[in-house]
Structure 1
């Protein structure tokens, strides 16, 4: 004889009715379909989409997936069945297409499937771009993630005519392995680090083009399983250290700096006291200093690691900041000649040349500090 609670073991659509039975509804089937759909949709959040995810497809429900490539590039796809075959429609790259927008597009495509229409036919036809145009659009969608202006400029330069002139005017759907090799071969052994970065950046642009529906098939700039079998192993970059001054000689240099009235001399003196990077020192703003606590608080957006940094000020560094504060004319501690701008990145290097200190670099003073410490 069946047990009275055997219905609990039944598979959906019966199981979703349970909470309505327990809550006292006379007709447990009411709202069952709505409840099931609510659980099936909106599975992921903005926070989840922004997080570092491994390669794969992450379902939001209802056929919408966040597709993550091995290189970390993300895009939205809508999966559906047609003619007994599973098919996919690209809805655009993430984060250029936000989660909310992707859900709206997926809803429209689900309706099309329910009506018997082909979702692929609903996509607004767009003019296919050439590589240069596609790279510009890709960079425009990604640049907000790069806080460093120099980094953004490097991406634009390497994907421009400086290196990619051979493919800049070619339609992205027509770019093949030979085209990519035409860019890489001339620099693969001469500039191995640059060549490797360009290859990866071309791969990102072509992945973007595929997500937008402008090309199909394997990415011709892919390294593993493709170009790795064609190009010779590149020479590893032998990284040299920044030329540094012996820490025993630094005090004498500081005395020479103190005799100069140049703002570059004050900036270099401060950099030496704090073992700071050039960009951190030159971009210092008055609001970052707590003189009473002798602390320099550098915000995350100005740090290479992207995290806030607190630097304890020595008495010399504190005195220097206080002296400059009596004649401040800008939001920047080390103001440049142009209004609203700090000293240029080359100001301290040029100062060293004028002092005939040509065998060391500004960045090398961090190494001097490390040796002393």
Structure 2
């Protein structure tokens, strides 16, 4: 049976948001990255090995142009020629300039970080650099450093500039330093497209005027309807966000969750200290809804495996949740804000004391004396609270605005 070709349409490629590869046929794929970037790749086999050829980002290469490029590459591969090598050989160069391939932004970044490893406080600092750049500047990471221009930098910064101002400011500064290093090494020319003064300051609002501190939260009365719509969406990102809402956990705690952390028999999820913001082990009571979500997933994976993964089997990016909000047409909401939604609900709709609510959020409450005597984590009282919250967001408790009457 002949394989279907031309599966995608011009409208489809513009509206696709699900991360992963989307086949057009005959080896041509549109790749949607976790951060929302879109690019074309052509997959082919040569000498028994599968190879990949980048055809450019969707913003500059249309569907018709991608098909044309893939067709030329396909013809070369059929003749036993490597289309990537053929493209490189055909690139025009002045006779006085030696042939060379510009390194990618990621290659320059790795070299830059390696050269400064001894000056940085610890390995975690280097990892933070790499994590922020690969997460929020994923499209830049794989792009030749000589081709990066202002629109590329803005495409990386704009999605997080208002929602995550401190992170965005760090990312911009790190991009600027990598591009400066690339210029010194002779890999690019001209002004730095990530510089702030006299350049991006005319396009982006000043960091000092951005909102800080509080994360925009969805009003708790709207969470049940949002959760209902979320449950209709497939994929690990939707299930991860659902569990985040049910447990009032932080994004990193959910995305880094491994199978052996959840004990279904005792209905407890134990988050290790190294993954907690406060550096203390945290036990999370699992409601029936949370157990129903986790049970089939845990049965299908190994004890050391991540519970939620991206299309490559790695940890989900925080950006996938933002993609869910866009698809659900929910504006101005942050993932961390669901913890605030939970906290507001506890205070407005239940009689549970402040200490229990704060313990559910893994917050330390009180002075040193109170903390010294309050060594317990009130697990069973918190279990009652999380069961009630799960019922509320699942609309199982009747009228959402009714005062909770569960005994403390």
**What TM bracket, shorter-length normalisation?**
0.3 to 0.5
| TM-score, normalising length: structure 1 | 0.41
TM-score (norm. length: structure 2): 0.38
Q: Which of 1 and 2 has greater Rg?
A: 1
Larger relative contact order (C-alpha < 8 A, sep ≥ 6)?
2
